Structure 1
């Protein structure tokens, strides 16, 4: 995830609805491009509810730099993981603000064609990692932060689906 200190772009939801749609994937729902989207395009802010604690009934929560959690709203809550993502999340902040807000945005890494699924790298910590089946040519085998991949059991081991304990 990257940090930007440029003024916030305007990205009304009507604009986002013209660019993306929610559809079915091999892992449930996903977000797909309706039209070609250039690389480096800021698609919009990830909106939702800011929480202090992880809700037991959610699999969509994202951690923010403040340590708080974001329960994202549809449609961007349905972004799936890939070890070869075409989008990234970033935090946008204004250096002139005295209090920084927790604001998370979505940007394309490379051009996306109509019908392509928009994918991000979840980069979870090793103690929360799960086996990855994204199918990318560079799949790490785990949904884990690349810097913590060395903590994971080797592929083919008997504890392959069990992340390390802290």
Structure 2
């Protein structure tokens, strides 16, 4: 069975993931995979201030993070957009074990072959949003409603 998507250079940022066939609204596209780690382990390894402007970390739940830097799959190359065609869905384990929760990327509208897959990263940092951090986390999606930053308003 041919792949429904392929990773290659992106006009948005670095690598991206592009549809190779039509993907229908509501379809599950890929699971975001990587090494499971606690929030404390992630802070110890990467820091907690969001100082890089780049991350393959995905918050799974209150206890765990997925680190796609280690044992990650193609999903780690899906770029952010302020006008995305996909969304990330946290699927809680039926057993209630937070280690078995999953992140699934699904289409929120029909995606045409050749179109880049994107979702809103929803990045919220605990530190104050300075002009320097907003620039570090600059959004390059180019959509008409682009906010200019991957950082989302604090809840």
- Give how far 1:98 is off: 4.1
Q: Which runs of 5+ in 2 are unaligned?
A: 47-51, 128-132
Q: Tell me which residue corresponds to 1:63.
A: 59
Return the match for 1:137 from 134, 141, 144.
Answer: 144
Q: Give distance in 2, aligned partners of 1:46 and 1:144.
A: 20
- SS for the counterpart of 1:118 is strand
Consecutive aligned runs of 4 or more in structure 1 exceeding 6 Å deviation: none
- SS for the counterpart of 2:3 is helix
Matched, 1:30 2:16: yes
- Give how far 1:61 is off: 1.1
Task: With the length of structure 1 as denominator, give the TM-score of the two structures.
Answer: 0.70
Q: Give distance in 2, aligned partners of 1:98 and 1:116.
A: 36
Matched, 1:39 2:39: no
Q: Give distance in 2, aligned partners of 1:94 and 1:74.
A: 20
- Provide the aligned C-alpha RMSD in A: 2.3
- SS for the counterpart of 1:77 is helix
Which has more radius of gyration? 1
Q: Tell me which residue corresponds to 1:155.
A: none
Contact 2:6 2:20 in 1 (8 A): yes
- Give how far 1:136 is off: 0.6
**Aligned pairs, how many?**
132
Matched, 1:51 2:37: yes
Q: Give distance in 2, aligned partners of 1:71 and 1:18.
A: 23
- SS for the counterpart of 2:109 is coil
1:103-126 Cα offsets, whole Å, 9 max, x none, are 111100000000000001011115
Q: Tell me which residue corresponds to 2:49.
A: none
Task: With the length of structure 2 as denominator, give the TM-score of the two structures.
Answer: 0.75
